[in-house]
C-alpha cells in the first residue's frame, strides 16, 4: 500500500496548500487502481509478444493508446 504522505508531497509540489485525508485516500486508491490496470495490460502485451519480461515499450504503448 502506498503511503498518504507520498501523495501529500505530490500535492504540495503542484501547489496544494491543504488537502483532506479523504481526498488523499481517494487519490491513492484511484492511482493504485489505474496502476494495476496498466500493469495488467502491459503483462498481456508482453505475453502476446512471447516475452516473460514486461518492457518499458509495453507501458508506453498502453499509455499512448489509452489517451485515444
Cβ-contact 32, 26 below 8 angstroms? no
Domains and CATH numbers, the chain: 4-66 (1.10.20.10)
CA neighbours closer than 13 Å in the CB half-sphere of residue 54 = 13
Q: Give the pLDDT band of residue 67 (cuts 50, 70, 90).
A: low
Please give the share of the chain, as a percent, with pLDDT higher than 70: 97
Task: Check residue 26 and give its pLDDT.
Answer: 96
Check if the beta carbon of residue 38 is closer than 8 Å to that of residue 50: no
CB 38 within 8 A of CB 62: yes
Check pLDDT > 60 for residue 7. Answer: yes
Across the range 13-38, mean pLDDT stands at 95
pTM value surpassing 0.85: no
Neighbours of 57 (CB within 10 A): 12
| Spatial separation of the C-alpha atoms in residues 35 and 27, rounded to whole Å | 12
Amino acid at each position: 500500500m502506498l503511503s498518504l504522505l507520498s501523495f501529500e508531497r505530490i500535492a504540495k509540489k503542484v501547489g496544494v496548500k491543504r488537502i483532506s485525508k479523504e481526498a488523499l485516500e481517494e487519490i491513492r486508491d484511484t492511482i493504485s487502481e489505474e496502476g494495476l490496470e496498466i500493469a495488467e495490460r502491459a503483462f498481456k502485451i508482453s505475453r502476446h509478444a512471447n516475452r516473460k519480461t514486461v518492457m518499458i515499450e509495453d507501458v508506453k504503448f498502453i499509455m499512448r493508446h489509452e489517451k485515444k
